[in-house]
Amino acid sequence: MSQADALSEPQSHLEAITSRFGDTVAVFTQGAGDSTLLVAPDDWLEVATALRDEPQFDFALLMDVCGVDYLGFGQDEWKADSATHTGFSRGVSARENIHHDRDGPRFAAVYHLLSCTHNTRLRVRVYAPDDDAPRVPSVHGIWNSADWFEREAFDMYGILFDGHPDLRRLLTDYGFVGHPFRKD
C-alpha cells in the first residue's frame, strides 16, 4: 500500500460511517486528524453493534471509556502564554461559582475504538441528556472491556450506564459521598 493510500483510508472509513448511519451520527475531525462521532444515547447500542460486527468497520477493540464533565468548558483559567517555564505556575483568579455556560448537555461518555483489521482508531462521544442524573446505555454486552471503564466513569463522574451488570464504585470507598471528578 502506498503512503497516499494509507492516508486516504481514515477518510474512506468516515465516508462509510456517514453512508451507513446517515443522520444518526455526526462526524467531525479534530486536531491531528482524529475522527470523532457524536451519537445520541438512543442510537448508541445499534451504532456500537454495527461498528463492531460489520466488516467495513470491524472495531473489535474498545480501548477506553472515559467520562467528561463539560461544566465551565472553554473558560480559560490557566495562563499558558504568560506563565514562566520555571516550574509549576498557575495564575488563577478564584471564582465564586462555576456556572454551566455552554449550550448542550454537561456530561458525556467518550469511547475509544480500534480496528486492527483496518488499522483505524475512532472516538465516539455520547452525551447524557439529563445533567442531574446522567445516563447512557452500557456497551458491556458488546465489548466486555467496557466493564471497569464504565465503573470508573460512574465512580468519578456519576454517569449511570443502563444495563451494566455490576455498576458499583471502583476507585473510591463505598462510603464515599459524591463523585470526585465532577467540577461542581
pLDDT tens for each residue of 50-63 = 999 999 999 999 99
Residue 184 domain-assigned? no
pLDDT in tens, 87-97: 555 555 555 44
Averaged confidence pLDDT in the chain: 85
33-53 burial string, b = 16+ CB within 10 Å, else e?
A: eebbbebebeebbebbebbbe
- Domain of 106, CATH number, reads 3.30.460.80
Q: Which domain holds residue 12?
A: 3-134
- pTM over 0.85, yes/no: no
The answer, yes or no, to whether residue 83 has pLDDT greater than 80, is: no
pLDDT in tens, 101-150: 567 899 999 999 999 999 999 999 999 999 999 999 999 999 999 999 99
> What's the gap between Cα 164 and its chain centre?
17
Residue 167 domain-assigned? no
Residue 142 domain-assigned? no
Mean pLDDT of 15-29: 90
Residue 30 domain-assigned? yes
The proportion of the chain whose per-residue pLDDT surpasses 90, expressed as a percent, equals 68
> Can you tell me whether residue 179 is helix, strand or coil?
coil
Residue 171 domain-assigned? no
Tally of domains within the chain: 1
Residue 111 domain-assigned? yes
